[in-house]
Structure formats: C-alpha cells, structure tokens
Amino acid sequence: MDFQLSDLYTLLPEIFLLIGVSGILLLDLFLSKEQRGVTYALTLIVLVVTSVLPWFFYDADPRVIMSGLVVSDALGAALKSTVCVLIAVGLVYSKNYLLSRGLHRGEYFSLTLFATLGMMVMISSNHFLSLYLGLELLSLSLYAMVALQRDSGRSSEAAIKYFVLGAIASGMLLYGMSMIYGATGHLNIEAIVSSILSGHSDSNLLRLGVVFVIVGIGFKLGA
C-alpha cells in the first residue's frame, strides 16, 4: 500500500475520534453511576472537536490517498461535520429518554461514537473495501445499541431480527460487489466508473451487481 505521512493529517478526524472513543471506554471503567455525566460530556466534546477538524485537513481539489481507498475533498469535510453535529444534537435531545431507560452510560456513548466513525469512513470511501468496512462498523454498533437494554425482551428480539436482516443485507452487498468486480476488474469506484464509460465491462453482469449492491444497502438502511 502506498502510504505517506501526509495521509495521516487527512485522516486526523477519524484518528481523533477513535482515540476519543477508546479513552471514553477506559475512563468509564473507573467511574461510578453518579459520575456518568462525565462520559456524556466527553462524548459531546469529542463530537464537537471532530466536527471542526475536517475543515483544517481537507483538500480543496479532491485527492485520493491510501492507495485509492480514501478520497479527501470539501464535500467530505462538510458531510463529516454535519454528521458529528447532528449526532451531538441528538444526544442532547435524547438525554432524558436515555436516563429514563437506564441507557445513559458509557457503553451507549461509545457505541454512538463507533457508529459515527463508521459513517465518516463511508463518507471518505473511494473503494468498495473501505465502504464495506465503514458500513459494517456502523451496522455492528447499531446492533449492539438495539440490544443494550438487556432486561427488555422486546429489545433482545429487535436486536436478533435486526442482526439477521443485516447479515442477509451484507451477503447481498458482498455478492453484488463481487459481480461488479467480475464485470469491471476493479473495486475502486473511480476505476469502475472509468471502465463503464469506456465500455470495457460486462454490462449484464454489471447491472445485476449494481442491483444487488443497491438492494443490500437498502436493506441495511431500512432494517
């Protein structure tokens, strides 16, 4: 893999978020129930800082890094900031609900940040591999969040159903990606587009692969 030190600066928002969620997980081990507000406040701080970082490290002209896995541009920076701000606002408005359901604890906030990280990876994706990794990180975090209320039968049932649907969607998505790779010879999104425009692809296999990818993502989002 072609890796340069400058790539780390572009990925700094994701790196900071990963360090933040790891620190919150460790800190939560040493806090009592009465101190849960500390992890809540730290989660909001991490989200606010992460929402600002992309604007310092994005490229005005789209730049592909990490051997084509990631793309850095202004649109990606805007979307990352928007995601972080919306999730922070959601946590503020849901505080009373989380307290009433006994979910106002470090595990919930950590899973929220992991889901945010998955979305940020998807936003920067320029390759089906990084897109799939980001989507699965988001999905696994949501599975765990649904099942977090362990004393609720409905919560456990919903988590199992969500997991089964998500597994089916993942299979369809991977199958579609394999078809697109078979039709174009690429998993890089830019290379796939170039192959399609040049006519060097199996159109029937490509159409079927695109259908599977759309259905798989649709299942993921709709579940």
Give the pLDDT confidence score for residue 103 in this predicted structure. 81
Mean pLDDT calculated for residue range 106-111: 90
Q: Which of 27-31, 71-75, 128-132 has the highest mean pLDDT?
A: 128-132
Residue 135 lies in a domain: no
Give the pLDDT confidence score for residue 133 in this predicted structure. 93
Q: Is the pLDDT of residue 6 over 80?
A: no
Give yes or no: residues 123 and 153 share one domain.
no
Q: Is the pLDDT of residue 221 over 70?
A: yes
Give yes or no: residues 17 and 116 share one domain.
yes
Residue 143 lies in a domain: no
State the Cα–Cα distance between residues 20 and 106, nearest whole angstrom: 12
Q: Is the pLDDT of residue 120 over 70?
A: yes
Higher pLDDT, 154 or 132: 132
Which of 136, 127, 132 lies closest to 70 in space, CA to CA? 127
Higher pLDDT, 181 or 31: 181
Q: Is residue 200 very low, low, confident or very high in pLDDT (cuts 50, 70, 90)?
A: low
Give yes or no: residues 102 and 176 share one domain.
no
Give yes or no: residues 24 and 106 share one domain.
yes
Higher pLDDT, 5 or 2: 5
Residue 156 lies in a domain: yes
pLDDT more than 90, % of the chain? 41
Helix ranges, 12-105 (H): 12-28, 36-52, 54-57, 74-93, 95-101
Give yes or no: residues 15 and 116 share one domain.
yes
Residue 132 lies in a domain: no
What stretch of H or E contains 115? Answer: helix 106-123
Q: Is the pLDDT of residue 20 over 90?
A: yes
Residue 137 lies in a domain: no
Give yes or no: residues 75 and 172 share one domain.
no
3-state secondary structure 31-44: CCHHHHHHHHHHHH
Give yes or no: residues 24 and 66 share one domain.
yes
Q: Is the pLDDT of residue 3 over 80?
A: no
Residue 43 lies in a domain: yes
Tally: H helices and E strands in the chain: 11, 2
Q: Could you list the residue range(s) of the whole structural domain that residue 201 is in?
A: 149-223
Q: How much helix, strand and coil, in percent to the nearest 5, is found in the chain? A: 80, 5, 20
Give yes or no: residues 17 and 81 share one domain.
yes
End residue of a domain, out of 127, 159, 194: 127
Residue 78 lies in a domain: yes
State the Cα–Cα distance between residues 111 and 149, nearest whole angstrom: 13
End residue of a domain, out of 65, 94, 127: 127
Mean pLDDT calculated for residue range 31-54: 89
Q: Is residue 1 very low, low, confident or very high in pLDDT (cuts 50, 70, 90)?
A: low
Residue 123 lies in a domain: yes
Q: Is residue 109 very low, low, confident or very high in pLDDT (cuts 50, 70, 90)?
A: very high
Give the pLDDT confidence score for residue 158 in this predicted structure. 84
Give yes or no: residues 32 and 98 share one domain.
yes
Whole-model pTM over 0.85:
yes
- For the chain, give the mean pLDDT: 87
Give yes or no: residues 46 and 110 share one domain.
yes
| Number of domains making up the chain | 2
Q: Is residue 99 very low, low, confident or very high in pLDDT (cuts 50, 70, 90)?
A: confident
Give yes or no: residues 75 and 171 share one domain.
no
Give yes or no: residues 123 and 178 share one domain.
no
